[in-house]
Amino acid sequence: MTEEHKSEDEGLQDDEQLPFMQRLLDNPFLLLFLGIAVPTVFYIIWGIMEITQIPIAD
């Protein structure tokens, strides 16, 4: 193999050895899901906390 082919093969191996978090965060659908799910969960928790703070009527 020539030097050029060796460096291309090494480059392919480097792409396969990406860290787990980088592969996870490179997924646009996962980022879309997290961008919708995380605020939704926080707003639901915030709403439940607000409802529990309302005094009970006598």
pLDDT for res 58? 80
pLDDT 10s digits, 5-15: 665 555 556 55
So what's the pLDDT on residue 22? Answer: 92
21 HSE (CA, 13 A, CB side): 0
Three-class DSSP category at 56? coil
How does pLDDT run across 24-48, given as a tens digit for each residue?
889 999 999 999 999 999 999 999 9
pTM, rounded to two decimals = 0.59
Domain range annotation of the chain: 19-58
Residue 10, CA atoms < 13 Å, CB-side half-sphere: 7
